[in-house]
Amino acid sequence: MMIAYFTLPLRYFGEDRPVVSWLVFAAVLIGMTWFLMARMIDILVGTGHHPGVWIIFLICLVLTVFASTYYVLGAQPDEFVGLNTRLDSLYFTVVTMATVGYGDITPSGQAPRLVVMLQIAYNFVFLAAAAGALSRQVRSGLESRVRRRS
């Protein structure tokens, strides 16, 4: 997925096509939300297979989507301070996801600030819920093993 991020033709998005850019971002965010919710339901119901793999995949997907969005926004003047490359965008996304916030890259425009708020909300609500669902499934699996041995 990271190889795709570094090779995606992102020049088709940005200030030349703002409506298309925002529609694609919204559609991808909605799709990720639906996919994540479906996986969480599978985990909670007990029909999901390999939930740890799905969680890792979803984290990579979130990183790719937000890093791509930051890269496109960073190509516009005065939207970010310190964000110049795809690696900068990925770094900023990881730092935001980890809630570290070094301050070396900062969103200065309104659009990047909105996307950062969306990422923080997304991380807080959906990734925390996914981690909770995963831990619940692991705990129930351990409890069933203990019951079988008893």
Burial class (CB in 10 A: 0-12, 13-18, 19+), 4: exposed
pLDDT tens track for 39-97 = 777 777 767 667 677 778 888 888 999 999 999 999 889 999 999 999 999 999 999 99
Q: For residue 124, what is the DSSP state? A: I
pLDDT tens track for 5-48 = 788 777 778 777 778 888 888 888 888 888 877 877 777 776 76
Every domain of the chain and the residues it spans: 18-149
| CATH level 3 topology of 18-149 | Helix Hairpins (1.10.287)
Residues in CB range of 66: below 8 A, 6 or more apart = 93, 96, 97, 115, 119
C-alpha distances in Å from residue 29, one per residue of 9, 81, 82, 89, 140 = 19, 25, 25, 17, 31
Instruction: Give this prediction's pTM.
Output: 0.78
